[in-house]
Amino acid sequence: MMAASAGLALALWLLLPPVGVAGAGPPPIQDGEFTFLLPAGRKQCFYQSAPANASLETEYQVIGGAGLDVDFTLESPQGVLLVSESRKADGVHTVEPTEAGDYKLCFDNSFSTISEKLVFFELIFDSLQDDEEVEGWAEAVEPEEMLDVKMEDIKESIETMKTRLERSIQMLTLLRAFEARDRNLQEGNLERVNFWSAVNVAVLLLVAVLQVCTLKRFFQDKRPVPT
């Protein structure tokens, strides 16, 4: 149990950098995805740093547990509640433009007293800094003479391909989460079917034994044996 808790803490530290580390400088902004187990009656929050004037997309999905639902909230770095959902199985939310600071994402399973939930969520950034870097690169390598194929066309093609590849990766990740949720649901249904099938078989055997014993009593000769 201690090893599992240490592994979970390490994964959280790698995915979402801690807040307010002195002298550490701005954390790198990158997309991330994480799957964690939310115990019954518990609330778990995550903090993600974001730059100013960017786009942050948050997608979450409950892929395991009874009911497949959870409460979700999203707060801005100033503490403003941006999103509040109650007992939802999944959700997609976009913050644009973002504020510089740490966004707070919370998943709450307090309403459940027995069932724990397996939750998957993904953070997708679309920073404007990437566009500035592309512009600087284009100005540095753009030739003076006119070419048949303009640099703007090449840039547009590269950006379109990059966007489509990123979206494909995101869709594959979501499909994998859907597949995991459906598999967990089917495995739970299979366990319930097997349990009640065993109960029905046991009841049938018990009834058969009782019927045999009852018939034997009907045909037993209860007359006293002559001496």
**Domain presence at residue 158:** no
pLDDT of 164 higher than 80? no
Taking all residues of the chain, what is their mean pLDDT, rounded to a whole number? 75
**Domain presence at residue 58:** yes
Q: What is the pLDDT of residue 26?
A: 46
* Residue in 113, 122, 120 with CA at minimum distance from that of residue 39: 113
Under 8 Å between Cβ of 181 and 61? yes
* Residue in 75, 59, 80, 97 with CA at minimum distance from that of residue 174: 59
Q: Domain limits at 56? A: 28-136
Q: What is the pLDDT of residue 57?
A: 87
pLDDT of 24 higher than 50? no
What does the pLDDT look like over 176-204, one tens digit per residue? 777 777 777 777 788 888 888 888 988 89
Q: What is the pLDDT of residue 46?
A: 92
**Domain presence at residue 181:** no
Per-residue confidence at 222, pLDDT binned at 50, 70, 90?
A: low
**Domain presence at residue 211:** no
Q: What is the pLDDT of residue 140?
A: 52
Integer Cα distance of 106 and 122 in angstroms: 13
**Domain presence at residue 191:** no
What integer is the mean pLDDT of 212-222? 75
Q: What is the pLDDT of residue 189?
A: 80
CA distances from 38 to 64, 79, 103, 177, 188 (A): 10, 23, 20, 16, 18
What does the pLDDT look like over 92-115, one tens digit per residue? 898 888 888 999 999 999 998 888
**Domain presence at residue 171:** no
> What is the Cα gyration radius of the chain?
30
What does the pLDDT look like over 104-161, one tens digit per residue? 999 999 998 888 888 988 888 875 544 444 455 455 555 555 555 567 777 777 887 8
**Domain presence at residue 20:** no
- CB-based burial label for 110 (10 Å; 0-12, 13-18, 19+): exposed
Q: What total number of domains does the chain contain?
A: 1
Average the pLDDT over each of 10-14, 51-55, 186-190, 208-212 and give the range with the smallest value: 10-14
Integer Cα distance of 162 and 170 in angstroms: 12
Integer Cα distance of 58 and 33 in angstroms: 10
Q: Which residues contact 83 (CB under 8 A, 6 or more apart)?
A: 58, 72, 73, 74, 91, 93
Q: What is the 3-state secondary structure (H, E, C) of 122-180?
A: EEEEECHHHHHHHHHHHHHHCCCCCCCCCHHHHHHHHHHHHHHHHHHHHHHHHHHHHHH
Integer Cα distance of 32 and 176 in angstroms: 15
What does the pLDDT look like over 33-81, one tens digit per residue? 888 999 999 999 999 888 888 888 888 988 888 888 899 999 999 999 9
Q: Is 0.85 surpassed by the pTM of this model?
A: no
CATH for 70 = 2.60.120.380
Under 8 Å between Cβ of 31 and 122? yes
Under 8 Å between Cβ of 143 and 71? no
**Domain presence at residue 73:** yes
